[in-house]
C-alpha cells in the first residue's frame, strides 16, 4: 500500500469563473487486481498493454487505486508531478524477492493480459481470491512461480544424459577410490 499526500491548492477556474481551493489530503493507494479491474471496466482497454496512457487515464487509475473514502474529486486534478512519479515507482516495484533466470531461447508471448485473464490464471492455479488485493506485480510473480512449478521438467537429450552419467560415475569412482 502506498500513502501519498496531495497538497492544498487554491486556483482560478476559467470555466466557473471562481477560485477553487482544496485542502491537503492523504490518500492510501493500492495497485492490485481490483484496481486494474475497475480501470479496465471504465476504459474498456487492457491496462497492461504496451501502449502509452493519456494523462486522464493515468489520473483515473490513481482514482481506481484509492482506498481512502470520501475523497474530494477535485483533488485528482491537482496531483503534483513528484507525487505521480512516486505512484509510478510504486506501480513498477517488484514487491517480491523472487527473480527469474530469463530463457535465452524463450519466445515472447503476444497474448494481451487483462484482468479477466489474470482471474482465470488464479482459478486455474487454485490461487485464493484474497490475493486479488495484493500488489499486482507480486500476484503476477506468484502466478509465474505456480506455472513454473507445475511444468514438467524438460527431458534431457541422449548426449546430455550420457555426459551427466559419465560425470557422476567419475565422481563416484574418485569418492570411493575404485576403478569401475
CB 95 within 8 A of CB 30: no
Provide the grid cell at 137. 506485480
Residues 6+ apart with CB under 8 A from 133: 30, 32, 33, 34
Ramachandran angles phi, psi of 152, nearest 5°:
-65, 150
Domain spans of the chain, in order of start: 2-92
Closest C-alpha among 84, 86, 73 to residue 25:
73
CA pair distance 62, 69, nearest whole angstrom = 14
Closest C-alpha among 92, 113, 100 to residue 142:
100
Average pLDDT of the residues in 69-78: 89
Average pLDDT of the residues in 92-100: 90
Place of cell 508531478: 81
pLDDT of residue 105: 53
**Tens digit of each residue's pLDDT (9 = 90 or more) over 115-160:** 999 999 999 999 999 999 999 999 999 999 999 999 888 888 889 8
Question: Does pLDDT of 104 surpass 60?
Answer: no
Assign 108 a pLDDT band (cuts: 50, 70, 90). low
**Tens digit of each residue's pLDDT (9 = 90 or more) over 23-39:** 899 999 999 999 999 99
pLDDT of residue 106: 55
Statement: the pTM of the whole predicted model exceeds 0.95? no
CA atoms within 13 A on the CB side of 59: 13
CA pair distance 71, 75, nearest whole angstrom = 7
CA pair distance 66, 29, nearest whole angstrom = 5
Amino acid at each position: 500500500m502506498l500513502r501519498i499526500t496531495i497538497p492544498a491548492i487554491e486556483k482560478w477556474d476559467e470555466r466557473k469563473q471562481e477560485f477553487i481551493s482544496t485542502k491537503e489530503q492523504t490518500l492510501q493507494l493500492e495497485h492490485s487486481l481490483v484496481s486494474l479491474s475497475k480501470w479496465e471496466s471504465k476504459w474498456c482497454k487492457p491496462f497492461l498493454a504496451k501502449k502509452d496512457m493519456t494523462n486522464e487515464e493515468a489520473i483515473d487509475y490513481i482514482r481506481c487505486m484509492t482506498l481512502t473514502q470520501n475523497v474530494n474529486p477535485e483533488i485528482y486534478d491537482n496531483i503534483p508531478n513528484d507525487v505521480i512519479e512516486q505512484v509510478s515507482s510504486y506501480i513498477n516495484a517488484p514487491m517480491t524477492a523472487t527473480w527469474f533466470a530469463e530463457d535465452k531461447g524463450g519466445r515472447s508471448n503476444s497474448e494481451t493480459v487483462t484482468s479477466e485473464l489474470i482471474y482465470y490464471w488464479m482459478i486455474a492455479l487454485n490461487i485464493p481470491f484474497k490475493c486479488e488485493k495484493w500488489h499486482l506485480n507480486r500476484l503476477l510473480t506468484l502466478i509465474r512461480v505456480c506455472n513454473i512449478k507445475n511444468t514438467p521438467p524438460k527431458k534431457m537429450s541422449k548426449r546430455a544424459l550420457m555426459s551427466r552419467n559419465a560425470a557422476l560415475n567419475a565422481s563416484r569412482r574418485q569418492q570411493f577410490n575404485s576403478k569401475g
